[in-house]
Amino acid sequence: MQRVVITGMGAVTPLGLDAISTWSAMREGRVAIGPITSMPRDGLRFGIAAEVQGFDPLAHFEEKKLILFDRVSQLALVAAREAIAQSGLDFAAEGLGENTAVVIGTGVGGEQTHDEASRRLYGENNPRTHPLTIVRLMANAPASQICIEHKLTGPSFATSSACASANHALAQAFHMVRSGVADAAVAGGSEACITLGVIRAWEAMRVMADDTCRPFSKQRRGMVLGEGAAVFVLETLERAQRRGATILAEFAGAGMSADAGDIVFPSEAGAAKAITRALADGGIGVDEVGYINAHGTGTPANDPTESKAIRRVFGAHADALAVSSTKSMHGHALGAAGAIELVATIGALRDGVLPPTMNFIDPDPGCDLDYVANAARERPVRAAISNSFAFGGLNAVLALRRAP
């Protein structure tokens, strides 16, 4: 088993069109939640989301190639380019492409393509469907398009486990690199879910906020959807040191579990099990962890359940932990959420700055941890974890250490 490190990071999010801008906005506590601008809000109950603003596909892709890409693939491809460029890996020159894995998580895949095809078929009664509909909307399209663009022919697949998709993708990539199944990996998550069909479906569940996202706050009213992508390059510590790469963080461990209970109500025991497994996998003691990037959706059920799970695992050390939910700034990007939140976790380890939980008003008696309310905090941390707990009771937690 080899030590695994992260040497590249790329992002396209509501907070910025690259990883640097995204992390800077997190540090500043900038909130990207607002009225939806990409489609009419008529008929929507609330009509708010966290959208990626100012993203011009023609600035990144030839017009003749855009026909192949749903927005979910566009975001993933741009994030992957940034991550690979930062890593400095030359897959062709090093003969690395043959054994580099690509694993990208997504909750709904090419939903804009699906939404448009359904509108034409059912709304306009138009029986003609675009011949590239399937290759645009399939969940593995982002992973496949990254492989094609960078000539990566190692293990490649998509993960789709709702809100835990990105963390599951990163965990699988980590395990492949650590075990030697792959020499390197490009992994993360992408989601482009701001469509009429998705928004209406989530509104029907009565879990959406009508004002903003206020995780762990007594005044929280629910979650707010977001979109975006974040992608990372993973390789062994030995390889990274040999070639003099800049190491962003050590990827120490990953833990996964299934609640096997309610399809939507979270389980304290299931979440705690995933956290415990991540720490054990990474050889990290509970007293080493200084920061937790929480799942923190802002719903009445999730936040107290996650808080109790943290207390169950960390015991008395829970009172010394800093916990925050960056969803309060970039919304809940479903299958990309864990990847965007890994940007925050890496930033906390590298810079010693803990991103805040924004929009916080009053504490909730059921959420009794330190949530870094409303302003970033300078505090060096040696180790951190990032939680993702999905509908369906599927949990994935990542454990990281500061770069060696």
d(CA 365, CA 304): 9
Given this model, what pLDDT does residue 255 score?
A: 98
Q: All domains of the chain, ordered by start, with CATH?
A: 4-242 (3.40.47.10), 253-401 (3.40.47.10)
Cβ neighbours of 118 (radius 10 Å): 14
Percent of the chain clearing pLDDT 70 (strictly above): 100
Among candidate residues 175, 193, 332, 367, the one labeled active-site is 332
Active site residue 295: yes
Among candidate residues 114, 175, 295, 330, the one labeled active-site is 295
d(CA 235, CA 184): 4
Given this model, what pLDDT does residue 176 score?
A: 98
Given this model, what pLDDT does residue 27 score?
A: 98
d(CA 109, CA 73): 9
Percent of the chain clearing pLDDT 90 (strictly above): 99
Provide the CA 371 distance to its chain's centre, in angstroms.
19
Query: Which residue from 11, 99, 83, 346 is spatially nearest to 233, judged by alpha carbons?
Result: 83
Q: What's at 358, amino acid-wise?
A: M
* Cβ contacts of 125 within 8 Å, gap of 6 or more: none
* Angle at CA of residue 141, ends 140 and 142, nearest 5°: 95
Q: What is the mean pLDDT of residues 176-193?
A: 98
Q: pLDDT band at 197, cuts 50/70/90?
A: very high
> Phi then psi for 34, rounded to 5 degrees?
-170, -175
Question: Cα torsion for 49, 54, 57, 60, to the nearest 10°?
Answer: -130
Q: What confidence tens digit (pLDDT) does each residue in 133-177 have?
A: 999 999 999 999 999 999 999 999 999 999 999 999 999 999 999
Q: What confidence tens digit (pLDDT) does each residue in 346-392 have?
A: 999 999 999 999 999 999 999 999 999 999 999 999 999 999 999 99
Given this model, what pLDDT does residue 226 score?
A: 98
- Token couple for 120: 């034409």
Given this model, what pLDDT does residue 156 score?
A: 98
Given this model, what pLDDT does residue 294 score?
A: 98
d(CA 373, CA 367): 13
The secondary element (H helix, E strand) that includes residue 305 is: helix 302-314
Q: pTM higher than 0.75, yes or no?
A: yes
Among candidate residues 114, 147, 150, 163, the one labeled active-site is 163
61 in helix, strand or coil?
coil
* Cβ contacts of 28 within 8 Å, gap of 6 or more: 376
Q: pLDDT band at 327, cuts 50/70/90?
A: very high
- Whether residue 310 is predicted with pLDDT greater than 90 in this model: the reply is yes
Query: Which residue from 50, 53, 49 is spatially nearest to 41, judged by alpha carbons?
Result: 49
The secondary element (H helix, E strand) that includes residue 321 is: none
- Whether residue 43 is predicted with pLDDT greater than 90 in this model: the reply is no
- Whether residue 42 is predicted with pLDDT greater than 90 in this model: the reply is no
Q: pLDDT band at 76, cuts 50/70/90?
A: very high
Beta bridge partners of 388: 396
Given this model, what pLDDT does residue 266 score?
A: 97
Contact 382, 236 (CB under 8 A): no
d(CA 230, CA 22): 10
> Phi then psi for 292, rounded to 5 degrees?
-125, 120
- Token couple for 334: 């479903």
Given this model, what pLDDT does residue 93 score?
A: 85
Owner of token pair 């026909």: 67
Q: What confidence tens digit (pLDDT) does each residue in 283-295 have?
A: 999 999 999 999 9
Contact 401, 377 (CB under 8 A): no
Active site residue 330: no
Active site residue 367: no
Q: What is the mean pLDDT of residues 328-332?
A: 98
